[in-house]
């Protein structure tokens, strides 16, 4: 939601709604603005909703969160500078590092309590009835959003639907069936009130289609779970299809070309359902000063995490010596090497049909042009390799090939060619530091090449609605032909590539079109990779579909030996367990308990 609120409100909200210390703060520094009555004011409703949206910046696009929910899957493995490495490998260190998840857990519950305050006291606010109804619906959506991520991450979680002002040391986990019921009711209520399209100039806060999207996904999750109801997959399919059938009403559509969805400037465009907003403002954005290295933990650094260490490739690579063929610049970005693609799965399975599917090229950067300085002039000489002198801005200095190249190709290429490390015969293989780079989050608008990104982080996309419908149809909510029809919409969109002749496009469409007989769960999961790679969905997808263990064992060598079924839930933060000292002990998820 594209709103800025005063930092004092965020701090006051946090003090009011966190743990044992808040009572002392209230006693020592009473303030009218932290009284629950504040939610009876227009400012309280506006500020509360904006504060919840603002808090999401602390997760999506941040360093640890990104690794926690992308790592340890079939899609991604550790980069050479990965943090939380136990999360990539499922080592027993996960048991002693459960507080990796405490920031996420605590933030979600603070937001839930804020939403509870809005919903409990907000109906009494003296303000325009239409705006009040809209803000209350926003609060219901946001409460459901928080509980959706809690229950799908941790399983049974405490369900609190009333505003809490008193510190307590008692709490208990609620069966997920009750949590899902509460999420669904909130989303149904929100969808009934939220407008068909967001108001102009406000970015993409929740509107009717956003609530329906999350409702469809909630039905899908519950349908796979032990809390399943007989109609869940049908409800998921019908809800998703209703969004598609009414896409014009909601201002939604697919971009003609897959890569357009992540072009800078298109973040609020036709395919986006929800974003996490960011801003250059140092106060409201909670950002570092430009040029200081992006040190704030809440900053969006998704433009860093997936980038290889391209500035370390010298002219004689893999030998030593010679000038670097590329230097760090604004366009290519800061290389943090936290996460790299698991190319054995990515190239060999998910993006195997690269000739007819544009989504590999739209997802990964595979070439780096020569630049002998950050602002190298195009056409000037670059580094001299044994095969000739590179021309800045013209010659490809680094090529991450998707195959083993011939010796003749290598001899004729002035730059450095890398080959997939899983392929026999690779002469210069990818490494943990050098590999194709995820390009979806690139940001060329930064003032300094080491700065964070202030691009809105795209969280929900319209293309996923087709994937939800296909999965629901596969599971009995529709027919296999309906599932194939949904997938074909995305696959035919992906057939369009720059520079195609009409004949080539026709052939690509034919190659991309599937039949009902080809629809399987594995096919849908591969399709989700092709469409959603790098968007913080993968661990959730494999957990939901109960395929995490099988697919990690099949494709991910660094995690295969350790992964077990219990890893389909993440650990309850030990901090939460320790704070419950009254009543029954707060239980840990299986495997993580010491």
Q: Encode pLDDT of 2-58 as tens digits.
A: 333 322 333 333 333 333 333 322 233 333 335 788 999 999 999 999 999 999 988
In this predicted structure, the answer to whether residue 230 has a pLDDT above a threshold of 70 is yes
DSSP string, 537-568: -HHHHHHHTT-HHHHHHHH-TTTTTT--GGGG
C-alpha dihedral sign at 52, 57, 60, 63: negative
pLDDT at 298: 72
Pick from 455, 473, 518: nearest CA to 287: 455
Compare 60 and 20 and report the one with higher pLDDT: 60
How confident is the model over 491-500, as pLDDT tens digits? 999 999 999 9
Residue-wise pLDDT for 241-267, tens only, equals 999 999 999 999 999 999 999 999 999
Beta bridge partners, 275, equal 458
The lowest-confidence range among 185-194, 270-279, 467-476 is: 270-279
Higher-pLDDT residue of 301, 240: 240
* Separation of alpha carbons 518 and 276, rounded Å: 36
Residue corresponding to tokens 């083993």: 404
Q: Which residues are CB-neighbours of 394 under 8 A, at least 6 positions away?
A: 369, 370, 378, 379
Give residue 297's pLDDT band: very low, low, confident or very high (50, 70, 90): low
**284 — pLDDT class (breaks 50, 70, 90):** low
Residue 567 has pLDDT above 70, yes or no: yes
pLDDT of residue 283: 56
* pLDDT for the residue numbered 31: 35
Which residues pair with residue 418 across a beta bridge?
400
Note whether 506 and 496 are within 8 A (CB): no
Question: Which of 201, 159, 155, 175 lies closest to 543, judged by CA?
Answer: 155
Contact indicator for 233, 475 with CB cutoff of 8 Å: yes
Mean pLDDT score of the chain, rounded to an integer? 91
Which tokens go with 122? Answer: 């907000």
Q: What is the phi/psi pair of residue 196, to 5°? A: -65, -30
**23 or 416, greater pLDDT:** 416
- Tell me which DSSP letter residue 300 carries: B
> In which band, very low, low, confident or very high, does the pLDDT at 112 lie, cut at 50, 70 and 90?
very high
For residue 19, the model assigns a pLDDT of: 34
User: What's the confidence (pLDDT) of residue 200?
Assistant: 77
Lowest mean pLDDT among 253-257, 454-458, 520-524, 565-569: 454-458
pLDDT in tens, 360-379: 999 999 999 999 988 889 99
- Return the pLDDT at 288: 63
pTM score over 0.75: yes
Tokens found for residue 174: 């609620």
Q: What are the residue boundaries of the structural domains of the chain, listed by start?
A: 296-455
Nearest-angstrom CA–CA distance, 269 and 255: 9
Q: What is the pLDDT of residue 296?
A: 61
3 state SS of 580: coil
**CA quadruple 346, 348, 350, 354: dihedral positive or negative?**
positive
């Amino acid at each position: 939601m594209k709103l800025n609120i005063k930092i004092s409100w965020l701090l006051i909200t946090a003090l009011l709604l966190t743990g044992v210390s808040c009572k002392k703060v209230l006693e020592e520094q009473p303030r009218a603005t932290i009284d629950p009555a504040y939610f009876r004011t227009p400012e309280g409703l506006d500020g509360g909703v904006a504060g919840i949206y603002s808090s999401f910046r602390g997760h999506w696009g941040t360093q640890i969160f990104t690794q926690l929910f992308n790592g340890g899957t079939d899609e991604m493995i550790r980069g050479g500078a990965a943090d939380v490495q136990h999360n990539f490998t499922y080592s027993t260190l996960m048991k002693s590092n459960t507080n990796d998840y405490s920031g996420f857990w605590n933030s979600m519950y603070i937001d839930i309590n804020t939403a509870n305050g809005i919903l409990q006291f907000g109906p009494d606010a003296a303000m325009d009835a239409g705006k009040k109804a809209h803000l209350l619906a926003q609060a219901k959506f946001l409460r459901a959003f928080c509980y959706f991520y809690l229950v799908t991450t941790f399983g049974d979680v405490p369900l609190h639907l009333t505003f809490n002002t008193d510190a307590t040391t008692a709490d208990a986990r609620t069966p997920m069936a009750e949590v899902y019921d509460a999420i669904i009711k909130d989303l149904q209520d929100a969808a009934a009130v939220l407008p068909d399209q967001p108001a102009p100039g406000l970015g993409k806060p929740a509107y009717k289609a956003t609530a329906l999207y999350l409702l469809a996904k909630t039905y899908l999750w519950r349908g796979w779970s032990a809390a399943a109801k007989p109609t869940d997959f049908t409800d998921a399919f019908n809800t998703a299809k209703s969004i598609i059938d009414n896409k014009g009403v909601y201002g939604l559509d697919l971009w003609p070309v897959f890569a357009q969805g992540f072009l800078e400037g298109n973040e609020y465009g036709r395919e986006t359902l929800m974003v996490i907003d960011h801003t250059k403002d140092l106060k409201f954005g909670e950002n570092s000063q430009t040029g200081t290295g992006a040190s704030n933990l809440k900053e969006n650094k998704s433009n860093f995490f997936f980038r290889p260490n391209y500035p370390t490739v010298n002219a004689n690579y893999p030998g030593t010596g010679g000038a670097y063929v590329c230097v760090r610049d604004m366009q290519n970005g800061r290389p943090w090497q936290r996460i790299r693609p698991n190319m054995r799965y990515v190239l060999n399975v998910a993006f195997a049909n690269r000739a007819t599917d544009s989504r590999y090229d739209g997802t990964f950067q595979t070439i780096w042009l020569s630049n002998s300085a950050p602002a190298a002039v195009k056409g000037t000489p670059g580094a001299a390799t044994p095969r000739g002198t590179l021309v800045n801005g013209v010659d490809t200095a680094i090529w991450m090939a998707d195959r083993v190249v011939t010796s003749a190709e290598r001899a004729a290429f002035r730059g450095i060619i890398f080959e997939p490390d899983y392929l026999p015969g690779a002469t210069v293989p990818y490494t943990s530091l050098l590999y194709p780079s995820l390009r979806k989050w690139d940001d060329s608008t930064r003032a300094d090449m080491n700065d964070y990104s202030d691009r809105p982080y795209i969280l929900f996309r319209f293309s996923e609605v087709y994937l939800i419908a296909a999965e629901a149809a596969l599971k009995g909510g529709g027919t296999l032909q309906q599932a194939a029809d949904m997938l074909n919409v995305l696959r035919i969109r992906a057939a369009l590539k720059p520079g195609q002749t009409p004949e080539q496009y026709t052939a690509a469409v034919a190659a991309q079109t599937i039949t009902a007989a080809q629809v399987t769960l594995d096919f849908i999961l591969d399709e989700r990779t092709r469409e959603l790679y790098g968007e913080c969905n993968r661990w959730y997808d494999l957990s939901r579909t109960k395929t995490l263990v099988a697919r990690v064992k099949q494709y991910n060598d660094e995690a295969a030996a350790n992964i077990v079924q219990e890893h389909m839930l993440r650990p309850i933060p030990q901090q939460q367990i320790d704070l419950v000292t009254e009543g029954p002990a707060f239980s840990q998820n299986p495997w993580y308990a010491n």
